Amino acid sequence: HPNLAEAPQPLIKLELNATQRLIESLAGHSTILFRPPYNADSRPSSLSELIPIEVAQSMGYLTVLENVDPRDWQRPSEQELLERVKSELPQGQILLLHDGGGDRSATVAALPKILDYLKERGNRVVSMRDLLGLDKESVMPTVSAEQKSLHFMASGLGFHFLRLLHDGLHWFLVVATLLVLIRTILVLFLARLHRPPTTPNPFLPPPVTVLVPAFNEEKVIVKTIESLLTSDYAGELSILVIDDGSVDGTRELVRGIDDPRVELICQANAGKAHALQRGVNAARTEFLVFVDADTQFERDALSELVGACQSPEIGAVSGHARVGNLRSFLARCQDLEYICGFNLDRRAYAAWNCITVAPGAISVVRKSAILAAGGFSFDTLAEDTDLTLAIHKAGYRVEYQPDAVAHTEAPETFATLARQRFRWAYGTLQCAWKHRDILFNPRYRALGWFSLPGIWFFQFTLVAFSPFIDLLFLQSLLFGNVGDVLPYFLAFLLCDLLLALAAVAMEGLPLRKALMIIPQRFVYRPLLSYVIWKSLLHALRGAWVGWGKLQRTATVSVP
């Protein structure tokens, strides 16, 4: 029941054709009669209200307009409805009443009184075909058996499918909205509850080895190493760069750094996980810090990170990654994603010991925990997620230190962002499937009941279905029932905004930064849906994906 006067002509034709097919599939008859809804039916007030009549005429329909409209859709009492009919009857003899669109009890109750009144006036109530002087077959032609079969296949099943799809998406929206609301409340509560592990006092900094896997990193590797060398860490520090078959000047640049704390290991190209495991095997310290080759540490980041890992029950500590190249809108969107997505989640998950990834960009891990977890696995692309879940299984706690800050390089184009997120999504999918024994396992508590199910639903299912939800929202805009979907849409957006406000407040940033979450969601939603579906299709095909390393721009700056 859309207002066709506000619809484009192609949509008017779609409405008429779809309604005709629906009538034919249900009744076995078509119809030549048409009445446009809203004001165009009797008293058009603008040229646009005549357009639906013109379109219908061009398609062969006979337009029927009423003269008496008692506006029963306003739900007057039955007596008021009768009085309205009486007052309008001198104007014409075609009466409009509604049998849908809500509670029609007053219309049903008033109808016998209206009929009695018409009989008293000497009026005779007839069907439209009698009024026109046409037979039934002319007004509602019978659909042939061949057409009926075709309509059942093309229209009947199609309408059933659309109904199932519409109902399915509706209930998915209801369930998804409730789960998003619950998750938002939990994340906000847990993030406020979390207290990062404190550095012992007095604290004797232990020897630390920093592992930097590198593959064609000549633009960024020197600045990354310099940020580590200028750290205020007071303990023994070794930096081990594992070059994974670079074909640019990465090796020469590392060799040119005149500092005995920097060591280079070269290997044939085998992948990031192999490079990291090579570094673990070569390291001679218990505490290993993982750093991506494009990530620059703030001066106190190493001290904060290692200081938080002193309790023997802690196997790994995630640092606080921020985007360092904020010169484009896309990079600023990713910075907000790091703040209110990755970092806020880790802050919340740490309260219940259910962090799913200590990132390769900035984290510290005990070597004994890595060995207990079986070392780096080579059968997934998300080696940091894989290792983190394995460390949980080995009985260690995984923590988060928000004061250990590093700045990493984010993709600056949609193409490079899509490549990065595809690798992340595909690797996370592999890890979620590989470690599916954690799911709803009481042994792992919140990891199995909260964060890992969250990956399956919020990172995969919800994102995968978001294009269909967007289509449902678009359909509601076009067909005039936006109120059916808008509350859910606003609920999602409100939850996003609340999380963004909380995240920027916890980091001491201006609250206005959180407003970028609104355009960010519209920019990210189709892209993330694309990479999720691409990941699912690759997984079904069993296709392998390589490093997927981005082309560096060397634009990271540390405040």
- What values do phi and psi take at 291, rounded to 5? -140, 130
What pLDDT does 458 receive? 93
Mean pLDDT, to the nearest integer, of 305-324? Answer: 95
Q: Quick one: tokens of 397?
A: 């706690």
Model confidence at 42: pLDDT above 60: no
Interval 100-124: pLDDT, tens: 878 889 999 999 999 999 999 888 8
Q: What confidence tier does 309 reach under pLDDT thresholds 50, 70, 90?
A: very high
Averaged pLDDT for residues 169-198: 92
Give dist(CA 510, CA 164) in Å, integer.
Answer: 45
Q: What is the pLDDT of residue 50?
A: 85
Residue of 339, 350, 531 whose CA lies nearest to 429: 531
Q: Is the pLDDT of residue 46 over 80?
A: no
For residue 202, say if its preceding peptide bond is cis, omega within 30 degrees of 0: yes
Split at pLDDT 50, 70, 90, the class of 487 is confident
Q: Which two tokens stand for residue 287?
A: 């505490």
Can you give the pTM of this predicted structure?
Answer: 0.77
Whether 428 has a pLDDT exceeding 60, the answer reads yes
Alpha-carbon distance 142 to 151, whole Å? 13
Mean pLDDT of the chain: 88
What pLDDT does 479 receive? Answer: 65
Mean pLDDT, residues 31-51: 76
Which of 51-55, 63-67, 110-114 has maximum average pLDDT? Answer: 110-114
Does the structure show a pLDDT above 60 at 464?
A: yes
519 pLDDT band, cuts 50/70/90, is: confident
Instruction: Tell me the per-residue pLDDT of 188-244, one tens digit each, with 9 for 90 and over.
Output: 999 999 999 988 888 899 999 999 999 999 999 999 999 999 999 999 999 999 999
Q: What is the pLDDT of residue 148?
A: 63
Q: Are strands 296-297 and 208-214 parallel, antiparallel or unpaired?
A: unpaired
DSSP 409-470: PPP-SHHHHHHHHHHHHHHHHHHHHHTGGGTT-GGGTHIIIIIHHHIIIIIIIHHHHHHHHH
Give the tokens for residue 490.
């606003």
Region class of 239: left (phi > 0), else alpha (psi between -120 and 50), else beta: beta
H or E element: which one contains 81? helix 78-88
Q: What is the 3-state secondary structure (H, E, C) of 113-176?
A: HHHHHHHHHCCCCCCHHHHHCCCHHHHCCECCHHHHHHHHHHHHHHHHHHHHHHHHHHHHHHHH
CB neighbour list of residue 499: distance below 8 Å, 6 or more residues apart: 184, 187, 188, 340, 344, 517
SS3 187: helix
Mean pLDDT (whole number) for 288-304: 96
* 309 vs 549: which has the higher pLDDT: 309
pLDDT computed for residue 44 by the predictor: 66
Of the two residues 270 and 148, the one the predictor is more confident about is 270
**Distance from C-alpha of 86 to C-alpha of 230, rounded to nearest angstrom:** 91
Judged against a pLDDT cut of 80, whether residue 456 lies above it is answered with yes
Q: Which residue has the higher pLDDT, 554 or 168?
A: 168
Give me the pLDDT at residue 344, please.
Answer: 95
pLDDT in tens, 336-373: 989 988 999 999 999 999 999 999 999 999 999 999 99
Cβ contact 297:400 at 8 Å:
no
What is the percentage of the chain residues whose pLDDT exceeds 90? Answer: 55
Q: At 504, is the pLDDT very low, low, confident or very high (cuts 50, 70, 90)?
A: very high
DSSP character at residue 338: I
CA pseudo-torsion sign 214, 218, 220, 221: positive
pLDDT over 90 at 2, yes or no: no
d(CA 57, CA 65): 13
For the segment 448-462, the average pLDDT, to the nearest whole number, is 94
Mean pLDDT within 70-87? 90
Q: What is the pLDDT of residue 366?
A: 98
Would you say the C-alpha torsion 183, 187, 189, 193 has a positive or negative sign?
positive
Q: What percent of the chain has pLDDT over 70?
A: 92
